Structure formats: C-alpha cells, structure tokens
Amino acid sequence: MIIQQNISLKNYNTFGIAVNAKRFISVTSVYELQQLLKVEKDIFLLSGGSNMLLTKDIEKLVIHLNIKGISIDNEDENAVYLTVNSGENWHEFVLWCISNNYGGLENLSLIPGNVGTCPIQNIGAYGVEVKDTITKVEGLEIETGKLVSFSNEACKFGYRNSIFKNSHKGKIILTSVGFKLTKKNHLLNTSYGAIETELALKNILKPSLSNVSDAVIAIRKSKLPDPKEIGNSGSFFKNPVISKKQFLKLQKTNPNIPNYVVSENEIKIPAGWLVEQSGFKGKRFGEAGVHEKQALVLVNYGNASGEEIHQLAKKIQATVLKNFQVSLEIEVNVMQ
C-alpha cells in the first residue's frame, strides 16, 4: 500500500474542482481497506466523485475506493443474483448487464459514478430507482473494521435517500452491492414520456433492454452535460415536495407549474422549473454557471472553485425562496 503526497483531485471528481489531497491512497481490496482502517481513522472517502462538491484542500487521508469485480452468486431460469464491488463504474456495469440480457437497470444508463455509491442516494432516473433491484449492501464499519451487511429493507431507501445519508453517514464504507435482475419477461419501464417518444421516433414497438438503454442515453445526452466536457454533478438540487395547500396557492399565480402528486397532501415540483423561472437557466457567473438545457445542473466552466459553485447555489436557493416560498435542498454532498 503506497500513500501518495499532495495529489490533485481534479480528475477524481466530476465537477472537476482542483483541490489537493495531502495524502492519497487508492485501495483495490477489502483486505487492504481493513488493514488501513486499523491505523487510519481520520479519513475522507472518494469513490466515483460524481455526487460531491469539494470546497478546499483535504488534510485527512483520502481513500480512493477502487475495489473491482462482479460475481454471479446464484441464478435460476428467471433471475440472476449478482454481487458487484464498489469500485466498478456504474454505466459500464449497466452495459455489461444489458449485454448479458439481465434486466432492471437499463433506465439508469449513463448515470455517472461507481456502483458503491448508488445505494447512498438511491439513484433514480426515468421512472426507475436502484432500490428496486438491490438485494443487499455490504460495507466495513469504520470504527471496528468489521464487515457488515444490510438487507434492502435495512437500507431504508427513499427518494434520493437511505440510511447511508442519515443514521449511518460517515460510519460505513460500502464495499459491494447485491442485485437481483431478470433473465426473461423483463419488466420494461417505458412510461416516462421522453422514452416513449424516443422509441416511437425509431419505430420500435417491442423494445429490448438495449433499445431502452439507447433511448435513455439519447435523452440524457440531449439534456445533461457530459462531465468529461464540462464539470458537473448531475442534479444539484432535489425536487422539492410541498403541501397541496401551498401548491394550489402557487398554481394561482403560475398556472403552468409542472407537478407530480406524491400523496393526498403532497406535491412534487421540479426544481429545474423553479430555477429556470427565477432566471438562472444558462446564466454564467465567472467560472460557475447553470446548464443551458437543464436548470437543475450547475456547471464548472473550467476553473471554478467549489466555493464559487456553492455561492451560486446559495444565490439560487435565496431567489427561489423569495419568488416561490419554496426551499431547495442541495442533493450533492458539499464538503464542509
């Protein structure tokens, strides 16, 4: 195990923020990680770096989780059970599933990041959330170095949420995720408007897993910036859920406000709409900005500091609150 000194993390976070790690190590096995935890307690975990905003140099030991490997634990004629190590790239894993005709993750194509972080925020897109296919999550307890396992229920998944963002935050290093995927009679979810349109454009009536994946890739590419071209972390804010009473009040002055019913008394409204209506879409403030095609995504034009992006986020939150009396919650992990 080699600990490197003064490493730039610019290529380790999709926002492309140039902060330095005083000490940095890339670990490739659970054993290595366990050995490290025996001597190092003050650590900063880095996985795919796709859902974090780094704001300053890191004094703690930065551990880059790079444990790879996919194993088939079990299968029958209908389903396959996989264990996937946390350092596998998410999109490559999704493509591997599609090439093996394993169904369930195709709507989650092209999401940046690694497998090990997908349960933390319960990644979701185009009508599917990863919680629907997760069977278990394994990790190491930082305090004891012990291997621990969580069933799907124990993870308490919610919209962009799980125990790993709450009671277990900072306590567990996720090392692998278990999935149950279909081998036949795939339950395709094409009800999301843009997917239907994309399939219809190609005259596809009976879509395959790869047809759905291709449609999702096309939609994402048309709306979301590629982190390799322009630094970003996907949705920067969560879509807020407000009371029906507040929604009806807002609707009076904004008859076109998009909305999704969550429950009898709760309505979700797209944060992207609120940000766009507040005049931020496509606006640039120095090196930071709001993406021109999707107002939910903040971007780094090249040399933004994390603080610059965070200040822009705060300005957006304050303006949306003033205009709509709605609080926008940041979805990305902002380094404190």
Subset of 82-101 contacting ligand EPU (CB under 6 A):
none
* Binding region for ligand EPU (CB under 6 A) out of 96-104, 148-156, 176-184, 232-240: 232-240
Q: Can you give the length of the chain in residues? A: 336
* Token reading at 270: 């797209």
Minimum Å distance from CB 194 to ligand EPU? 7
Residue 231 interacts with ligand EPU (CB under 6 A): yes or no: no
Residue 110 interacts with ligand EPU (CB under 6 A): yes or no: no
Catalytic residue among 88, 138, 198, 331: 331
C-alpha distances out from residue 60 to 22, 144, 224, 238, Å? 7, 19, 33, 29
Question: Among 13, 83, 235, 317, which residue interacts with ligand EPU (rule: CB under 6 A)?
Answer: 235
Minimum Å distance from CB 193 to ligand EPU? 8
Phi, psi for 85 (deg, rounded to 5) = -75, 155
In the complex with ligand EPU, which residue's Cβ is closer, 234 or 306? 234
Minimum Å distance from CB 238 to ligand EPU? 5
Q: By beta-carbon distance, which residue lies closest to ligand EPU?
A: 234
Q: What is the 3-state secondary structure (H, E, C) of the chain?
A: CCCEEEEECHHHCCCCCCCEEEEEEEECCHHHHHHHHHHCCCEEEECCCCCEECCCCEEEEEEEECCCCEEEEEECCCEEEEEEECCCEHHHHHHHHHHCCCECCHHHCCCCCEHHHCCCCCCEECCEEHHHCEEEEEEEECCCCCEEEEECHHHCCECCECHHHCCCCCCEEEEEEEEEEECCCCCCCCCCHHHHHHHHHCCCCCCCHHHHHHHHHHHHHHHCCCCCCCEEEEECECCCEEEHHHHHHHHHHCCCCCCEEEECCEEECCHHHHHHHCCCCCCEECCEEECCCCCCEEEECCCCCHHHHHHHHHHHHHHHHHHHCCCCCECCEECC
Question: Among 66, 294, 300, 305, which residue interacts with ligand EPU (rule: CB under 6 A)?
Answer: 294
Q: Give the x-and-dash track for 115-134 against ligand EPU (CB under 6 A).
A: ----------xx--------
Q: Give the x-and-dash track for 263-282 against ligand EPU (CB under 6 A).
A: -------x-xx--x----x-
CA neighbor of 132 nearest in space, from 146, 116, 115, 119: 119
Residue type, 122: N
Residue 234 interacts with ligand EPU (CB under 6 A): yes or no: yes
Q: Active-site residue 235, yes or no? A: yes
Minimum Å distance from CB 314 to ligand EPU? 18
In the complex with ligand EPU, which residue's Cβ is closer, 135 or 277? 277
Subset of 236-255 contacting ligand EPU (CB under 6 A):
238-239
Catalytic residue among 23, 86, 106, 160: 160
In the complex with ligand EPU, which residue's Cβ is closer, 7 or 290? 290
Q: How big is the site for ligand EPU, counted in residues (CB under 6 A)?
A: 18
Residue 14 interacts with ligand EPU (CB under 6 A): yes or no: no
CA neighbor of 323 nearest in space, from 237, 245, 253, 238: 253
Q: Give the x-and-dash track for 194-223 against ligand EPU (CB under 6 A).
A: -----------------------------x
In the complex with ligand EPU, which residue's Cβ is closer, 33 or 297? 297
Report, as residue numbers or ranges, the catalytic residues: 160, 235, 331
Q: Which residues bind ligand EPU (CB under 6 A)?
A: 125-126, 223-224, 234-235, 238-239, 258, 270, 272-273, 276, 281, 294-296, 331
